[in-house]
Amino acid sequence: MRRTTLAAALSAAVALTAAVAMPTAEAAPHGALRPALDAKPFQPPLPSTAPPVTRTLSPGVTLTTYTFGKKNADDFWTVHVYLPAESGGPVNKATTELGPKDTADQVAQALREKGFEPRVEEVRSPAYADLEAGTLGWTVRVGGFAARPDATAELAKVKAAGFTGDTRYTAQDGTDFHAPEKVNVIRVDFRQFQGKVDTEFGPTLHGTEPATDLIARAGAIAGINGQWFYNDAPGGFYVKDGKVLASATQGRGAIIITDGGRNVRVDAVKAHISLQTPGGAIEEIDGVNRFPGDVWNCGGVGGDTPTEKPQHDFECTDPSELVRFTPEWGTPPKGAGAEAVLDADDQVVAVNSSRGAAVPAGGSTIQAIGESAEWLLGHVHAGDQLGIRTRVSDSYGRPVPLTRDTTIMQVGPTLVRHGKVSVNALADGIIRFGADQSFTYDWTNRANPRSMMGVDDRGRLMLAVVDGRQAGYSEGLSIAWTAVLMKQLGAREALNLDGGGSSVMATAADGVINHPSDSSGERSLGDAWVIKP
């Protein structure tokens, strides 16, 4: 049974670094990243097991459903036993899903002493564009069962014996390109389509809504989920109609579109926003429309702990920040610190020694905490005309103009660049070095529902969703296989969007057309991509 892994250097790092320690390797500039996944296990395309079915949603807009793979009799349910974070640690409180081989061997031996027959299995990851292949870690599993209830019963015995764990279906290990997959792809051909591809969020940025509501709000033909979201707001750089609405995670992938979606490119971006006072003092604004001090995905502009490098789904903190709020956010958070209230011309109308004032129409507020609050109170005064400058650059250091027809959504990782599979896993923060590799294993290596966006050689925009976590129907894909799929579907540029339970595709006429993995069905989202007539 095939497995996947991370980096050659990672094997040593797993044993030697702390759970949140960051990799020391520096990624190459994104434009210079080499194509990866050329090794044989990842070359074959996903096998089609039924003819694709295509229908037209609107002139120039088609929806195609693909069926790949089929259920394999060799796949089974098993008990996945957790490992202690440290070698020799208590097994009854273990929470890590894989670890060094000596720890896995110790847990396996303890299971044997209790009468079980465990398997110790190596987990490997493929090469990425900025990281070599290698061993991610080792897992311990018990039993093989045709039905989940039987695996659940075995899990109860394992827990009663003093261990922890859960059940897993082996087809969702992320290594089998023959596994069943259900994929929906919307293509927009701008030679026929006269409308616009845009983004949509709810009444305010700080709040979530189902994709079907966002599509209806936009009067759109169809749509797909967009960015991940934290604290009920989009996470990552977000520019709509040339206006910055959310902070950048420096160096992460993004999709950049202009002219209503007719010009599309995928790249890594950085963004810096500075504030200058009449006296010449200049300070960098740490974030836009997010809670001060709370830096989800890390990768801020300085002062973040425990790292300033991107780390997906990881919360960094910064005790000293300036954060700008625009009217789109809604009601800004209240709290200790200071703030400046600016009108539409960036003139200061008030300076307050606490935070939470409403944002003037067309204006903004600059909230400050920690030492930044002291700086603001000492340098910014009512009546000041502030200079606020935004600089956005791509992976080559070239400026990215923010015109009125510019939309940027930072998601990631990148999947296809210049027609080649190219996943910027390290630079995008979907890889973690450290003792606990559970996140990398679950989010990056294992099969999950995924949503993707790209453009093909004919210039058609592509929105795609693969269902997952549904045994025997659609297992989902690893990040590596998601990239292979997008290349197989014809993408010359492609980017991963938010996924998991957020993966949803819907049309105005049909509602949700895929099968979201959450048991409750469609999830509320921070924003979405929509196709407007």
Residue-range domains of the chain with CATH: 8-24+74-172 (no CATH), 49-69+177-235+409-532 (no CATH), 271-391 (2.60.120)
Structure tokens at 526: 């921070």
Each residue's pLDDT tens digit, 212-221: 999 999 999 9
Say which residue the tokens 């409308």 belong to: 195
Q: What is the DSSP string of 181-199?
A: EEEEEEEE-TTT--SEEEE
| 78 pLDDT higher than 80 | yes
Q: Tens digits of per-residue pLDDT, 451-478?
A: 999 999 999 999 999 999 999 999 999 9
**3-state helix vs strand vs coil in the chain, percent to 5:** 15, 40, 45
Nearest to 412 by CA among 442, 450, 460: 450
Contact predicate 116/142, CB 8 Å? yes
Nearest C-alpha neighbor of 211 from the set 451, 489, 454: 451
Please check whether residue 481 is in contact with residue 208, taking contact to mean a CB–CB distance below 8 angstroms.
no
Q: What is the pLDDT of residue 30?
A: 39
| pLDDT (0 to 100) of residue 292 | 98
Q: What's the CA gap between 351 and 290, in Å, rounded?
A: 20
* Confidence band for 436, pLDDT divided at 50, 70 and 90: confident
DSSP lists the bridge partners of residue 57 as: none
- H or E segment and range at residue 151: helix 148-160
Give the pLDDT confidence score for residue 73 in this predicted structure.
87
* Single pTM value for the model: 0.91
- The H or E element containing residue 495 is strand 491-496
- pLDDT of 435 reads 77
Query: Which backbone phi and psi does 302 adopt, to 5 degrees?
Result: 145, 140
Instruction: Tell me the mean pLDDT in the region 159-180.
Output: 96
Across the chain, mean pLDDT equals: 91
**Amino acid residing at 284:** E
What is the Cα–Cα distance from 527 to 230, expressed in whole angstroms? 12
Determine what percent of the chain is predicted with pLDDT higher than 70.
Answer: 92
How far apart are alpha carbons 350 and 358 in whole angstroms?
11
Q: Going edge to edge, which strands form the sheet with 461-466? A: 48-58, 61-68, 181-188, 461-466, 450-456, 491-496, 414-417, 420-421
Does 501 have pLDDT greater than 80? yes
Residue carrying the six token digits 């210079």: 32
pLDDT of 75: 94
Interatomic CA distance for residues 66 and 274, integer angstroms: 47
Which tens digit of pLDDT belongs to each residue from 325-377?
Answer: 999 999 999 999 999 999 999 999 999 999 999 999 999 999 999 999 999 99
**In sequence order, which residues have a C-beta less than 8 Å from that of residue 438 and are 6 or more positions away?**
95, 96, 97, 98
The conformational region for residue 307 under phi > 0 = left, psi -120 to 50 = alpha, else beta, is: beta
Task: Report pLDDT for 41.
Answer: 39
Q: What is the pLDDT of residues 9-51, one digit of tens each?
A: 333 333 322 333 333 333 333 344 444 444 333 456 899 999 9
Residue 43, pLDDT score: 56
Q: Who wins on pLDDT, 450 or 4?
A: 450
- How large is the average pLDDT for residues 46-71? 96
Average pLDDT of the segment spanning 251-276: 95
Cβ–Cβ < 8 Å for 133, 125: yes
Q: Give the pLDDT score at 9.
A: 31
User: Is residue 271 within 8 Å of 499, Cβ to Cβ?
Assistant: no
Residues near 341 by Cβ (< 8 Å), separated by ≥ 6? 348, 349, 350, 351, 352, 357, 359, 360, 363, 365
pLDDT for the residue numbered 294: 97
